[in-house]
Structure 1
Amino acid sequence: MPKFDQVLHVRLGSLKEAVTDWGQTYDKLVKLQEKAENGLQVKADKADWEGENAGVTRPFVKKTAKEFGDAAKVADSIRNILRDALAEFKSAKESLEKLIEEAPGKGIRIDPDGVVSYLIHPDRRSKNYNGPKPDQADFDAMRSAIKAAIDKANDADDVASRALRTVVGTDENNFSGTDYDNLKEASKAQDAEDAKEAAKIVKKGDDATPAEIDKLNKYLKDNKGDPYFAERFALEVGPKGSLEYWADMGVPGDGPSRLGIDHRDKLAELQKNWSLTLAAATHSTSPEMEQWKADVIKAGSDPIQSRGAHPYGFQVMSNLMRVGDYDDKFLRNYGNALVVAEDKITHGGSQPPGRAWYQPQQAHLNWIGGGAGQDPMSGFMEALGHNPKASTEFFNSDIDLTPENGKDDKKLNAFDYFSKDRDWPEELNDKGRMSKEPGYDSLGHALESATTGHAYDAPAEGLKDVRTAENAEVMQKVVEYYGSEPKHMHEQPGIDDSLGKMGSAYIDEFNRSLEQENETSKQEMPDSPFGFNDEKGHSRFGGKFDNELLWSRADTLGFLGTVTQSETGHAQLSAAQTVYTTSVMDEVAPKPGSGAARELDLTDAKTTLRIGAETHAIFDQSRMGQIDEDYTKDSDEHKKAVGRTTEWVKFGVGAAAAGGVAALTGGAGGALVPLATETVGGAVVTFLGMEADDIAEKYEEDELLKKKSDDLKDEALGTGKENALMPGQAYARAPGWSKEDANYLEEELTKYVKDSRGHVRDDSLPDPYKPSKK
C-alpha cells in the first residue's frame, strides 16, 4: 500500500511515457491485424488446398491472424489501465500537495510522514498570538482528506496491478484477448470474479475446510463496501443459499460448524463480513436484487433445513443483519413481515415469543455477542440501530398484521409492542447466563438511532446534531413510557445505557422543561437561554415547538429521575449536563472582559447555572436513593456504589467539543451532547481543560470501607455539588477577566449554584425501584 510520502513524491513521467508507448503499440498492432485478416487469412480461405495444407495450414493461418487481434486488444487494455491509473495517481498527488499548501493557513502542520499536528502548539504561543487556532474538527477533517487521497492511490494501484496480470494471462503461447476500456471496468470484472470464487466456497458446504473459510472471509473483507461485489456475491449465493449455509454453520457436528467449537473467532469475523456484504447489496435497485430482497422476506416464515436444526428464515437472516447499514425500504418490509410472522406463530400473542421461536434442535446463529441468536427480533433491532432513518420510521409506524386482508384494520403500534407489550425471551448472554438482556440491549440500540439520527455505535467524534421532528416524536414516546414508572427501565436489563445516551442527546430540551416551575405546563419560559433555535427563532422540531416544550417539568423529572437511578445513566447524564451548561454560559453570559463584572447583567448566566445545579441535584438524589434500596446500609457494596457516584466528572473533562456538539467518549460510553453554541469558546474550552480530581484516589477502598454510609453519602453529595460548580468556575476563569472580576464571579456564581441545588427538595422524584416479590 502506498504511503503518504510515496504518493506525495511519486514520479509519474515514466508512467506517462508508458501510456504513450502502449498507445503507439496498439496503433501498430491494429494495422498488423488488418493486414493479417484482409491479406493472410483471406488468401488462406480462398486457397484450394487439399490434404495436410487444408487440415493444418489453414487453421494455423486463421489462428495466427486472430492472435494479432488479441495482441491489439491486450495493448489497448494495457494502455487504458495505465492511462486511468496515471490520472488517479496524479489526482491523489495533487490533493496532498493542496492540503500541504492550505494547512499553515489553518494553523496545522503536516509532517513528512503525514502526521498532523499544531503549526504552533498552544503552549508555545505568545500572549499576542492572533493566528489560526485549529480545533479537533479541523484536525479530523485534515486527517480524513489525507486518508482519502492515499486510499485513492492505493485502490488504483491494486486494481491496475491485478488487471495487468489478467491482461497478460498465463498462457505463454497465446495472447489473452482481454479487453478493458477503463480501470472501472477492470474493477467490476475483478469484483465479479471474486464474488464467483467466494460463492464456490459457500456452495461447498460441509466440504469446505477451515482454510477455505479463511479465504472466504478474506474475499468478503477485501471487498468490504464494494457495492458491485456485494450484489454479485448475494446473487451468486442466492437468498436460500445464504440462509441454508448460515443455518448449517450453527449446528454442532462436522464440517464448517466445527468452527464454532474450534474457531469461534473465525465465525464471528465471517458473520460480520457477511452481514456487511449483504447490507451493501440491499442498496442495489437492479431487478435481480429487488427479487433477491423479496425472496429473502418470503423465505422468512419457512423452516430452513440444515443438517439437524430447522430454524425459520427470519431467525437466520436477522443474525446476518446485525452489522452494516441495510437499505431503508428493505428493513421496513422485512420488519413488517417479521412482526406479522411473529403474530401468527404466537397466535395473536397468546403464546410467548420465546416459545414460538423455540426449536427442539437449536442452531447457534449469532457469534458476535448479544445472545445465541434464537430471537429474530434482536438481530432486526441491531439492523435498525445502524439505520436511523429506517428505525425512526419504524417506531413511528403502525404495522398491518393482516396485509393480505384489505378489509380489516388489525394494526399494531411498533413502539408500544417492542417497548411495552412484547415478552422478550431469555437468551444466553455474554456472561453465560440466561437473561433478557440481549433483547433489551438491542432494543435500546434501535431506539438510540431512532431518537438521535445516528447509528448507535457510530464514532462520536465528528458527528453533528441532526435531530429532526421525527426523531423527537420517538423520543417523546421514550420519555413518556420510561419516565412513567421506574420499573419499566429496571425490568428491561441492558437498556439503561441507551436511555442515558438518548437523554444526553436531548439535554437541551430537558433544560427548557426544568426552567418551567409549573409541573404540567408545556409553555416555554420567555427569553429562555436553553434549546436550539435557528436565527429566526424557530425550533428544529417544527413551528409548534418554537415556544412549546417537548415535555412538561413533570415528564422530565420522571425520565431523568428514573434513568439516573442507574449507575451508567447517572454518569452519562451528569457529564452531559455539565458540558451543556458550560456551553450555554459561553452563549448567553457576558463575554469575558466586556466590562466590570459587578456591573454586568448576569441574569441568563444565573438561570443557566440554577437549572444546571437543580438537574445535578435530581441526578444525585435519584442515584443515592436507588443505592439505599439496592444495598444494605454500611455494607461494602453500598459504600463502593456511593464512592462511584462522582466519577462522572472524568467523562466530561475527556469530552471533545466542536461544531455544536460534544462527544463524551470516556467511561460512560460514547454519547452525543448538543451545545448551545456552534463556536466552542472560552468557558467550554476552559472547562474541558480543567484537571479533575483523581476521585479514584480520593475514595481509596481501604479508607472508603472504614466510613459509615451516611458520612460517605454526605461527602459524595458534597463532592457532587463541587463538581456541579465547574461550569461557573470555567466561566469565571476564562481568559479575559481581570483577577478581581474572576474572583467576584467565582464567589457570586458559586453561592448561587449551592443555593439552587436545594430547590429540588420540592420536586416529586420517582421512588427507588423495588423488585416485586414473586
Structure 2
Amino acid sequence: MGTERIPLAKHDYNGPFGYQLLGGIMRYGSYDAKFLNPIAEHVAQLHQKDPYMFADNKVVNSPFKNPFNPSGVNGAGYDPATAMLEALGNSPEAAKKFFTDEPTAYNEDGTVNHGAKADLGKGIDNYLDFFGNEKWESFPDVNSLDQNELKASTDQMPDALGHALEAATLGYPAGDPDAGVVRDADNAAVMQQVMEKYGADAGLLKEHEAMADSLGTMGAGYIDDINWALEKNDANSPFAPGKNPDGHLDFADTQDKNGRSVVRGFLSTLGQHLDAYATVSAAEQVYTRSVLEGQVGADGKIDTGAARATVHTGSEVQGMLDQSRADQVEVTNLKTHEDYEKAVAKRAGWVEFGANGAAAKAGLNRCIADAGWGVFLTILHAKAESAGREVIAVDPRNTSRTCPECGHTAKESRPTQEKFHCVSCGHQTHADKVGALNVLRARLVRRNANQA
C-alpha cells in the first residue's frame, strides 16, 4: 500500500501516499531489518525512478504544517526517503545490513523483482553511493515558499543519511552512544567505505554539509583505528587492537595494504567542518592520553618508544585537522574570526606537544577541559574496553609533588615544570616520571581494594 493514495475523509481524492503516513511513524522508532529494509529499499528505488513522485499531494502554505511529520525535523513528511533514513538511524542492525547487503530489486507495487538487478542509477550498485550522490535530486519537503526554508530543506536528506550511517558504523542508534556495543566486520566495512568516499572528495561533504557532524561522531568512534592506520596498521603499534580484531579497520584490501592515505584524506575533509573538527579533535586528545597512560608498566617503567610513537601520531592527527581547519577558515575570509583563532591556538599546542612534555601536558589538560569530563570518561571507558584494558580513576592531586622515595609532599620540590627535586630527601628525577609513578601506585591501591 506504500504507493497507493489513502483517503483520510469522504471524497478525499488527493490523500497521502501510504509511505507518507508510514514514514511519519517509522522515523521515530527502532525496527527489525526484515521489516524496515524492504520498505527502505523500495522507497529508494521509487525515488530513483521518479524523485518527484511523492510531491504530487504537497500543499504549500496550508494551515496544516508538517502534516506527516508534526515535529518538522528533517521535513514535513512528504518525502518518505528521508523518513526511512531516520528510521535506519534508530535501527543499527537494519542500517548495517542496508549498507552492506546487495540491493534487492523491487517492482513498483513493492513485490520483489526476482532475477532483476536493483536500478539505483548509472554505475551505482549500493545505497551509500545512491544517497551520497552529489547530484541527488529531490523536492523541498516543506509547506512554505519562504526562501530560507526552501534552502534549509536541502539539508534534510544528508542529515538523515548521517544518522543512518552513524547507526550502521557505530552499532548503536544515532545520538545514543552505548559503550557496551561490540562492533563487527560489517560495521567496520561501512566505516571504511564512508572514509574512502568522503576522504577522496572533500567537495562532496560540502554538498552534504548537514551530515558533517555525523561523520565527526563516526570518526571519534573509530579514533583508535585512525591512529593505527597512520602507523600503517603495524601489529606492534600501541594502537593495534587488543581484542575483537574483526570490529576494527585494518585496510588490508586497499592498494597500499594499510589505511594511511585513506585516513589522511578523511581527516583533511573533516577538518573543513567545525562540528566534525571539534568532535574528532576532542576524541583524539582523550585517546592519546589514554594510550600514553597505558605505556606505564606495573613496575613503573615507561615504554619510551611506544610513548614517543603515541605522541607523534597524536600530533599528526591533530596537525592534519588543525591545518585543514585553518586553511578552510582562511579561504572563506574569516581569518579574524574566533574560529580561526581557536584553530591556530590548538594547532600551536599540538606542535608543542610533539616537542616537549610540559606543553603536551598543558595541551591535554586544555583539551580535557574543552571536552568535559563526562565526554572524556565515556570515550576512555569505551576505548579501554575495546583494547582489553581497565580504567581505574585516581585522585591526581599532589601526584607530581609527592616524592616517590620518601613520601614527602611539597610544592617547592617542583622548582621547574620538568624538574623534581625533593626538599626532604634530595631525590631528583623528571617531574612527569614522579607523577606517573604516584598515579600508578594509587591505581594499584584502588585495584587491590576493589578486588578485596
Q: TM-score, normalised by structure 2?
A: 0.71
SS of 2:204's partner is helix
Q: Do the aligned residues in 1 keep the contact of 2:216 with 2:270 (CA within 8 Å)?
A: yes
Q: Do the aligned residues in 2 keep the contact of 1:479 with 1:559 (CA within 8 Å)?
A: yes
| Deviation at residue 686 of structure 1 after TM alignment | 5.5
Within 1, Cα distance between the matches of 2:314 and 2:41?
A: 42
Within 1, Cα distance between the matches of 2:206 and 2:265?
A: 14
| Deviation at residue 483 of structure 1 after TM alignment | 0.7
User: Partner residue of 1:395?
Assistant: 99
Q: Do the aligned residues in 2 keep the contact of 1:324 with 1:383 (CA within 8 Å)?
A: yes
User: Partner residue of 1:68?
Assistant: none
Within 1, Cα distance between the matches of 2:137 and 2:291?
A: 42
Larger Rg, first or second structure (1 or 2): 1
User: Partner residue of 1:300?
Assistant: 2
Q: Do the aligned residues in 2 keep the contact of 1:584 with 1:677 (CA within 8 Å)?
A: no
User: Partner residue of 2:168?
Assistant: 450
What is the aligned-residue RMSD (CA, Å)?
Answer: 3.7
User: Which one-letter code corresponds to 1:576 in the other structure?
Assistant: A
Pair 1:652 & 2:361 matched:
no
Q: Determine which of 110, 118, 127 is the counterpart of 1:414.
A: 127
| Deviation at residue 474 of structure 1 after TM alignment | 0.7
Q: Summarize the alignment of residues 203-352 of structure 1 with structure 2, pairs less than 5 Å apart.
A: 299-307=1-9, 309-344=14-49, 346=50
User: Partner residue of 2:363?
Assistant: none
Q: Do the aligned residues in 1 keep the contact of 2:96 with 2:167 (CA within 8 Å)?
A: yes
User: Which one-letter code corresponds to 1:652 in the other structure?
Assistant: A
Q: Which has the higher helix share?
A: 1
Q: Summarize the alignment of residues 695-774 of structure 1 with structure 2, pairs less than 5 Å apart.
A: 740-743=428-431
User: Partner residue of 1:381?
Assistant: 85
Q: Do the aligned residues in 1 keep the contact of 2:19 with 2:80 (CA within 8 Å)?
A: yes
Pair 1:426 & 2:134 matched:
no
Within 2, Cα distance between the matches of 1:566 and 1:674?
A: 30
| Deviation at residue 673 of structure 1 after TM alignment | 9.4
User: Which one-letter code corresponds to 1:423 in the other structure?
Assistant: E
Within 2, Cα distance between the matches of 1:628 and 1:739?
A: 50
Q: Do the aligned residues in 2 keep the contact of 1:484 with 1:559 (CA within 8 Å)?
A: yes
* CA deviation string 1:373-411 (max 9, x = no partner): 221111111111111000000011223144554343345
Unpaired stretches in structure 1, ≥5 consecutive residues: 1-298, 347-352, 517-523, 664-671, 690-728, 733-737, 748-774
Within 2, Cα distance between the matches of 1:305 and 1:578?
A: 56
User: Partner residue of 2:69?
Assistant: 366
Q: Do the aligned residues in 2 keep the contact of 1:343 with 1:401 (CA within 8 Å)?
A: no
| Deviation at residue 573 of structure 1 after TM alignment | 0.4
SS of 2:104's partner is strand
Pair 1:494 & 2:205 matched:
no
Within 2, Cα distance between the matches of 1:489 and 1:648?
A: 26
Higher relative contact order (CA 8 A, sep 6+): 2
User: Partner residue of 1:357?
Assistant: 55
Q: Do the aligned residues in 2 keep the contact of 1:500 with 1:563 (CA within 8 Å)?
A: yes
User: Partner residue of 1:474?
Assistant: 190
Pair 1:514 & 2:237 matched:
no
Q: Do the aligned residues in 1 keep the contact of 2:234 with 2:240 (CA within 8 Å)?
A: no
SS of 1:433's partner is helix
Cα distance 1:415–1:677, how it changes in 2: closer, same or farther (>3 A)? same
Within 2, Cα distance between the matches of 1:626 and 1:543?
A: 28
| Deviation at residue 630 of structure 1 after TM alignment | 1.6
Cα distance 1:514–1:543, how it changes in 2: closer, same or farther (>3 A)? closer
Cα distance 1:740–1:540, how it changes in 2: closer, same or farther (>3 A)? farther
| Deviation at residue 372 of structure 1 after TM alignment | 1.3
* CA deviation string 1:10-44 (max 9, x = no partner): xxxxxxxxxxxxxxxxxxxxxxxxxxxxxxxxxxx
User: Partner residue of 1:527?
Assistant: 236
Q: Do the aligned residues in 1 keep the contact of 2:225 with 2:249 (CA within 8 Å)?
A: no
User: Which one-letter code corresponds to 2:45 in the other structure?
Assistant: V
Within 2, Cα distance between the matches of 1:476 and 1:439?
A: 21
Within 1, Cα distance between the matches of 2:307 and 2:334?
A: 41
| Deviation at residue 529 of structure 1 after TM alignment | 0.7
Within 1, Cα distance between the matches of 2:97 and 2:396?
A: 40
| Deviation at residue 631 of structure 1 after TM alignment | 2.3
Within 2, Cα distance between the matches of 1:470 and 1:427?
A: 32
User: Which one-letter code corresponds to 1:555 in the other structure?
Assistant: V
Cα distance 1:550–1:565, how it changes in 2: closer, same or farther (>3 A)? farther
Within 2, Cα distance between the matches of 1:584 and 1:409?
A: 47
Pair 1:590 & 2:296 matched:
yes
Cα distance 1:358–1:678, how it changes in 2: closer, same or farther (>3 A)? farther
Within 1, Cα distance between the matches of 2:368 and 2:142?
A: 34
User: Which one-letter code corresponds to 2:322 in the other structure?
Assistant: D
User: Which one-letter code corresponds to 2:91 in the other structure?
Assistant: N
Count of aligned positions: 366
Cα distance 1:682–1:603, how it changes in 2: closer, same or farther (>3 A)? farther
Within 1, Cα distance between the matches of 2:280 and 2:234?
A: 23
Unpaired stretches in structure 2, ≥5 consecutive residues: 61-65, 121-125, 347-365, 400-416, 421-425, 436-452
SS of 2:172's partner is coil
Within 2, Cα distance between the matches of 1:648 and 1:429?
A: 43
User: Partner residue of 1:218?
Assistant: none
